[in-house]
Amino acid sequence: MYPGYGVTQNIMSPKAASKLGLDIYPNTETFTLADGSTIESKGIVSTKYSFPGEESPEQPIEFDIIDNLVVDILVGRSFLEGTETLTKHTERISVVPRRPITPLPRILHISMSSVFFRCYLNHLEVYANADTGAEMNLMSEEFVKKHRLASAPPDDNHQSVFLANGSTVGILGMVLARFNPIQKTEPTAPHSQMKLFYILRNLTSDVLLGRDLLIEIQAFV
C-alpha cells in the first residue's frame, strides 16, 4: 500500500482487486488529477485490513477502482489520519525503491486540495498542498508568472512525470526558491532552505509539497 495524503479516498487498481479476489461493485465517481484533468472510477471494493505486528482486530475498508493506477493500492488522507500513520505510527511506512520499469517521477495526487500547509517561498506567504504521493515538489505555471519567479528548463530526470492513472505530462521548468515551513519571513530563519520546485501546467494548487520534503520537515508530527 502506498500512502497518499493528497488523495481524498482509498484507491486500488483492477489488477490488485483481482489478485486479492475482491468483487468490484458498480460505482462511478469522478476524480481530479494533479494537472486538473479528470478520470472516472469503474467501481468499488470492500475488504478488511490490519497492521502486521499490531494487536488490533481487522477493520473494514473500501477502495475505488481506477484503471491503469501506477501503484497497486493507494490509501488516502482519511485512512492515514484515522490510523495516525503519519503521526504516531510512522514505523508502518517503509521506503521502497521505485522499479526500473517506472523511471519517471510519480504524482499520485487525486481530487482537489482541501488541506493546506502555511509556509513561505521567497518571502511570499503560501498555502501549499501536501502530498506524500508526490515524488517531487511542484509549482503552478500561473503562480510562477504572477510572482515573476525566475525559472530554468527542467533537468534531465524531470522532463515528464507520471500522473496517478499512468498518463504522462511534461514539466515546463523548475524554480529554485527559499522555502521556510516556519511562519516567519526572515531569510535567515533557522529552517529556511533552498528547494527545487518543478512547474506543472494547470496544477490544482499554487504549490505542492512532495513526500521527501514533507518527511524532512516532519510536517505531520
Per-residue pLDDT tens for 50-87?
A: 888 888 888 999 999 999 999 999 998 888 888 887 77
3-state secondary structure at position 82: helix
pLDDT of 98 higher than 60: no
Average pLDDT over residues 106-119: 82
pTM: 0.85
Q: Which has the minimum average pLDDT: 1-5, 91-95, 197-201, 210-214? A: 91-95
Q: 158-217: per-residue pLDDT in tens?
A: 999 999 999 999 999 999 999 998 654 444 444 678 999 999 999 999 999 998 998 888
The mean predicted confidence, pLDDT, of the chain is 87
User: What is the predicted pLDDT for the residue at 188?
Assistant: 45
Cell of 61: 475498508
User: What is the predicted pLDDT for the residue at 64?
Assistant: 95
User: What is the predicted pLDDT for the residue at 92?
Assistant: 72
User: What is the predicted pLDDT for the residue at 3?
Assistant: 82
User: What is the predicted pLDDT for the residue at 186?
Assistant: 47
3-state secondary structure at position 5: coil
Ranges of CATH 2.40.70.10 domains, the chain: 2-92, 106-216
The residues, ordered by sequence, that sit 6+ positions from 22 with a Cβ below 8 Å of its Cβ are 12, 45, 46, 47
CA-wise closest residue to 78 among 11, 135, 31: 11
User: CA–CA separation, 91 vs 110, rounded Å?
Assistant: 25
Pick 102 or 116 by higher pLDDT. Answer: 116
Fold of 2-92: Cathepsin D, subunit A; domain 1 (2.40.70)
Fold of 106-216: Cathepsin D, subunit A; domain 1 (2.40.70)
Pick 21 or 99 by higher pLDDT. Answer: 21
The DSSP letter of residue 186 is: -
Cell of 67: 484503471
Pick 145 or 49 by higher pLDDT. Answer: 145
